[in-house]
Amino acid sequence: MKQLLILGAGTSGTMMANHLVKKLPKKEWAVSIVDQYKTHYYQPGFLFLPFDIYNEDQVKKEGKKFIPKGVNYIQKKIEKILPDDNKVELEDETLSYDVLIIATGSKIAPQETEGLLGPLWKKDIFDFYTYEGALALRNKLRTWEGGKLVVHVTEMPIKCPVAPLEFAFLADSYFRDKGIRDKVDITYVTPLSGAFTKPTCTKALNYLLEEKNIKIEPDFAIMEVDNEQKQIIDYAEKAIPFDLLVTVPTNMGDALIERSGMGDDLNFVPTNKHTLQSKAHKNVFVIGDATNVPASKAGSVAHFEAETLADNIVLFTKGYKLKEEFDGHANCFIETGANKALLIDFNYDQEPVHGTFPFAKVGPLKLLKESVFNHWGKLAFRWIYWNMLLKGIPIPFVGRNMSFKGKIFDIKSD
């Protein structure tokens, strides 16, 4: 039997297991998947935990439930990949592979910023990119009486680049509902020159920031967190004071990638952006947050990547040329508070534009415009995630590559 080995049973690894168990001949290929943890988290739900919109049970399930029959599930820590020997070292055994898929994701690295893990960490400084961080922040917000709230992004790339903005919008709504919005001063601090990585979208978002009285501090390259004075300081020595700092620390690929000598400075694996084959090793493929491709690090992107990658793995096993197909397609809801959301749809080359999605004229979802229907779409994503996305079931009417139907290109999208 030939061995196909998947590293990581998060969003991408689980989807690949589900796709490949159906696509590879069972008599020739054995499929195995390795992950260190028992629990699979619905990470988009971490945004809602701090505001008591979701509870713990809505964002976690046992990971094994989503691994299909016929796939060997190994719950162990991965120590090292030896790509020249086609082997992977786990904590107490070594596995061999013919084809390897790296799906080990990315995680926060607060230790990369001086002072971030100082005495105020989890007292007045929080993250919401981890399950524990989101819950600690929820407990803090339940009793916080107001002051300077700074929502901060350390550096790009981060997973779900819109999540910190959504956090700022939801915070505005949350404090309004609590009747203390006048006691909370919200500032959004970003290393980018505007609210988002895509200029047309930034314009739409700037308008919302203004409307909700959220100040923006762009071009802020953080140098350190001063725990004594309660301020963040950048390399230009600009200081921003806070009472409560909600930060998205540097995001990095797992240390395993560094130990294996396979990553860039942030432990992301150099990957062909259209085929998802590793640039260094032909029988190694990379998907999701673990890659260095210039697409958003998002579950929706991993879902589109998985469809192309599943086809490419089959082509590779037959010795055929790979499809250079993945176009960077991303499809993201942006919660804007008060039960509304925006939707953006874009790829490597095409910025988000106005229009309707997925159908021309009828929508029902609106692009780059706030609507209640978009908010329902965001909430429905959780059901879609557990019931369709992880199982590799195609989402009706949403193709793997970006469709230009329903999009308005002939007027300026601002």
Residues of the shown chain interacting with ligand FAD in the complex, contacts defined by CB under 6 A: 8-13, 34-37, 43-44, 46-47, 77-78, 103-105, 128-129, 159-160, 163, 254, 256, 288-290, 297-300, 302, 332
Q: For residues 105 and 355, which CB has a smaller minimum distance to ligand FAD in the complex?
A: 105
Q: For residues 230 and 296, which CB has a smaller minimum distance to ligand FAD in the complex?
A: 296
Q: For residues 200 and 300, which CB has a smaller minimum distance to ligand FAD in the complex?
A: 300
Q: For residues 226 and 258, which CB has a smaller minimum distance to ligand FAD in the complex?
A: 258
Work out the burial of residue 205: count CB atoms within 10 Å of its CB; fewer than 13 is exposed, 13-18 middle, 19 or more buried. Answer: buried
Q: For residues 166 and 172, which CB has a smaller minimum distance to ligand FAD in the complex?
A: 166
Please report the sign of the dihedral spanned by the C-alpha atoms of residue 307, residue 312, residue 318, residue 322: positive
Q: Nearest distance from residue 90's CB to ligand FAD, in Å?
A: 8
The radius of gyration computed from the CA coordinates of the chain, to the nearest angstrom, equals 21
Q: Nearest distance from residue 254's CB to ligand FAD, in Å?
A: 4
Q: Nearest distance from residue 304's CB to ligand FAD, in Å?
A: 10
Strand, helix or coil for residue 277: strand
Q: Nearest distance from residue 27's CB to ligand FAD, in Å?
A: 29
Q: For residues 233 and 269, which CB has a smaller minimum distance to ligand FAD in the complex?
A: 269
Asked if 240 and 101 touch (Cβ cutoff 8 Å), the reply is: no
Q: For residues 10 and 110, which CB has a smaller minimum distance to ligand FAD in the complex?
A: 10
DSSP string across 155-214 = SS--BSTTHHHHHHHHHHHHHHHTT-GGGEEEEEE-SSSSSSSSHHHHHHHHHHHHHTTE
Residue in this structure with the two tokens 């997973």, named with its chain if needed: 159
Find the residue with minimal CB distance to ligand FAD: 10
Cis peptide leading into residue 358 (ω within 30°): yes
Q: Nearest distance from residue 198's CB to ligand FAD, in Å?
A: 16
Q: Nearest distance from residue 259's CB to ligand FAD, in Å?
A: 9
Work out the burial of residue 118: count CB atoms within 10 Å of its CB; fewer than 13 is exposed, 13-18 middle, 19 or more buried. Answer: middle
Asked if 111 and 20 touch (Cβ cutoff 8 Å), the reply is: no
CA angle 138, 340, 144 (to 5 degrees): 25
